[in-house]
């Protein structure tokens, strides 16, 4: 459960394929994501996730579930969170349904309610991605899908001394670029 909570504490926005004016599309995606999350419109939230990300995270999360060695309480909590009776039923959930159930479950947790308080203003923080592209974000992981990236590219945004940093988590050197 700690893995799920960690992921959702960091995960705050994802993007669909971008077309036309990329900066404007990014801003629209951010606003749409935060609005949907605050309203607990999980269908819209999941619709903004990168499909490959959902498949990969479902795989990672399922591999972390060790219900055979879990206590009866832990097992009951996992099954309850996914609204199933057996582990096999969890494994049969589509990536989309899997995430919908996680969102519904974690949204009930007190510390997840902080998302409702996040300012959706796109002008608060500008983070340079690559080649002069910027997005607004608040200490989050973004899964981007557009013509500049192949597959799923994951970026981690971290606050460091009041400034935000970006790291491409899929690069071996995990180089961090400070935003000026």
Position 21 scores a pLDDT of 59
Strand order in the sheet with 176-178: 11-14, 141-144, 153-160, 163-168, 176-178
The alpha carbon torsion through 96, 85, 61, 130 (nearest 10 deg) reads 20
Separation CA 176–CA 118 (nearest Å): 24
Beta strands 11-14 and 141-144 are parallel
pLDDT digits (tens, 9 = 90+) for 34-43: 677 777 888 8
Position 27 scores a pLDDT of 61
pLDDT digits (tens, 9 = 90+) for 33-66: 767 777 788 888 787 776 777 777 788 777 777 7
Tokens in use for 22?
A: 């990329």
Residue 174: how many CB atoms within 10 A of its CB? 10
pLDDT digits (tens, 9 = 90+) for 137-158: 333 334 333 333 333 344 444 4
Q: Which of 23-32, 95-104, 165-174 is the least confident region? A: 165-174
pLDDT digits (tens, 9 = 90+) for 79-135: 887 888 887 888 888 988 988 888 887 766 543 444 444 333 333 333 333 333 333
Position 10 scores a pLDDT of 42
Position 23 scores a pLDDT of 54
DSSP 8-state code for residue 114: G
Among left, alpha and beta (phi > 0; psi -120 to 50; other), residue 100 is alpha
């Amino acid at each position: 459960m700690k893995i799920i909570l960690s992921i959702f504490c960091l995960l705050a926005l994802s993007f669909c394929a971008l077309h036309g004016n990329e900066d404007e599309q990014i801003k629209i995606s951010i606003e749409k994501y935060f609005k949907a999350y605050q309203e607990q419109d999980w269908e819209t939230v999941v619709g903004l996730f990168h499909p490959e990300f959902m498949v990969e995270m479902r795989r990672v999360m399922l591999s972390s579930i060790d219900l055979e060695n879990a206590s009866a309480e832990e097992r009951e909590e996992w099954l309850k969170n996914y609204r199933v009776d057996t582990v096999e039923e969890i494994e049969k959930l589509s990536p989309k349904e899997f995430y919908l159930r996680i969102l519904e479950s974690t949204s009930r947790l007190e510390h997840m309610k902080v998302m409702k308080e996040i300012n959706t203003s796109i002008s608060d923080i500008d983070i340079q991605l690559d080649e002069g592209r910027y997005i607004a974000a608040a200490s989050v992981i973004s899964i981007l899908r557009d013509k500049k990236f192949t597959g799923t590219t994951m970026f981690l945004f971290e606050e460091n001394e009041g400034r935000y940093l970006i790291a491409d988590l899929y690069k071996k050197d995990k180089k961090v670029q400070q935003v000026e």
